[in-house]
Chains A and B, each alone.
Chain A
Amino acid sequence: MQTQQTGITQRRPAAVVREQGATKVERQPQNTVLVWPNLLAIEFLAAALITLGLIILSWVIGAPLEEHANPDITPNPSKAPWYFLNLQELLLHMHPSLAGVIVPGVAILMLMAVPYVDHVVGDTGRWFASENGPRIAGISAVYATVWLVALIIFDEYVGTRRVLESIGIPEVIISIVVPVAVMIGLSWLLVILIRPMQPNAREILIALFTGFVAVYVVLTIIGTAFRGPGMHLFWPWAMPPRH
């Protein structure tokens, strides 16, 4: 009677055990410490410092508030919030569909793809991958900044559009083909440039990601501090008032 019952219960699944555990641990943690108080003390200190900083900041600097919204008075320049000024800056140089939607959309998709392009484990947790990593990041940051500033100055004072229109190049090429070619071409050139260092997938991504961050930051700074009326370039200290 009893053995029979055991036989039945044995066939009933008591638990589902996966071949791979739900928790994936790469290595057995050596040298562990208790979360209380070791981690919690760090978290408490960080939280206290940030909170204090935020309180002081809010005490000293006031948030801006201008006149009541008025659809009939368009300020010149009208600017998006600072974290979108990079896109607004792109708007000056290419087709609005590219600048406003396609470029940011592709950027988000490419960011999401990062772990599927570089999935070799072994150097997880190592800052900048290798000894070459910091050098590649440095080269990429300088490369992207110099090209970007040069292109913006060229477009402002010479004008890609003016030059190309004067020799009868059609609109699609001016506002879509040329900007896309510049963006892809310069990324490709960067990868060629670091090739002598024999980069692996992660190091190539470091070059491209650093270029992306540099472009994002520099575009934001230019859009915030260097664009004035008519979205023309001005020095921040010689900025004409908004009107």
Chain B
Amino acid sequence: MAAEAAGPHRDCAVGLFSIAPHLEEMIVIGSVNEQWERLTRTQLWRSLFRQGWPDTPRNRTLAVMGNVFLHLHPVRLPRAALRVTYTFCLGGISFLLFLSLTVTGVLLMFYYIPSVTRAYNDIRDLETVVSFGYFLRNMHRWAAHGMVITVFLHMMRVFYTGAYKPPREFNWVVGVLLLTLTFLLSFTGYLLPWDQLSFWAVTVGTNMAGYAPLIGPEIRFLLLGGFEVGQNALLRFYTLHVIGLPLLVAVFLAVHFWRVRKDGGISISGPL
């Protein structure tokens, strides 16, 4: 009665105090462990995770085997294959940058129209109007430069460790294709801001392709969709950049990673 008279605030407080004993009960009687057990027994949890917390060899094995992404890896690997001064993580870092480029690239596509009258202003807006737009663009740009560098360095590491030797010959060839595709991805993206820098860089670059013996002019025409860098070239570069080349890279990456496994995991330098 007194609580009622004291208004809603008092009501609330009284309400809280009245569950408090139950809370205490829950804490005392149902230990954290028990709550955890209860959670992991729910249908929802079990539909997501098929093994227990990965703190036993068995659960760790199941965690790697049962997850589509982790399954890129074997369950166990030689201790020597962990040595960072062997791979310098360069293949993995190249892959990470490729993934970052995919995410930031998709977000950039929300704001960009590949039209000679719109493109430049869209990039301008990213820099000045769109929240975090400049950040998004910078991340895409620097990750792209970074990927060219890390893929090249990865090739150097594979070369100097002799990791291209049988049975890995074919994976080296796949790698060279990936390097070429990485250059092409970066180059097609270069045109998209449609500023003086991109326009003339692509003019210079496609002129070089035009010097191919016999079919140079035809190659150049095919690339540009015309005789000079214009709307058709922008559309072609855009399409190649956002879908054509990324799909090709994804396919070759699948082959590359599959091959690493089929060649017996990464090469290692003797017993450790």
- Say yes or no for A198: interface residue by CB 8 A criterion: no
**Would you list 25 pairs from A and B whose C-beta atoms are within 8 A, ordered by A residue?**
A31-B272, A36-B64, A50-B96, A58-B139, A58-B142, A62-B127, A65-B195, A65-B197, A78-B204, A82-B145, A83-B148, A83-B186, A84-B187, A88-B204, A97-B216, A100-B207, A100-B210, A101-B208, A111-B155, A115-B168, A118-B165, A119-B169, A120-B165, A129-B162, A206-B160
In this complex, how many residues of chain A approach chain B with their Cβ under 8 Å: the count is 82
Known contacts A40-B73, A82-B145, A99-B211, then 20 further A-B pairs from the complex at CB < 8 Å, ordered by chain A residue: A31-B79, A31-B272, A32-B79, A35-B70, A39-B73, A42-B89, A54-B139, A58-B138, A63-B141, A68-B195, A69-B198, A71-B228, A96-B211, A97-B211, A111-B176, A114-B172, A118-B162, A118-B164, A119-B166, A133-B160
Considering residues A33, A128, A209, which has the most beta carbons from chain B within 10 angstroms of its beta carbon? A33
> Is A100 in contact with B166, judged by CB distance below 8 angstroms?
no
A35 and B164 in contact, given A24-B263, A55-B139, A125-B269 (Cβ under 8 angstroms): no
- Say yes or no for B60: interface residue by CB 8 A criterion: yes
List CB contacts (< 8 Å) of A4-40 with chain B: 22-26, 29-40
Q: How far is the CB of A115 from chain B (nearest CB, A)?
A: 4
Q: How far is the CB of A53 from chain B (nearest CB, A)?
A: 9
Bound CA–CA A95/B162 (angstroms): 35
- Say yes or no for B38: interface residue by CB 8 A criterion: no
> Is A54 in contact with B187, judged by CB distance below 8 angstroms?
no
Bound CA–CA A78/B76 (angstroms): 52
Query: In the complex, which residue of chain A has the Cβ closest to the Cβ of B146?
Result: A54
Contact of B172 among A36, A65, A115, A209 (CB under 8 A): A115
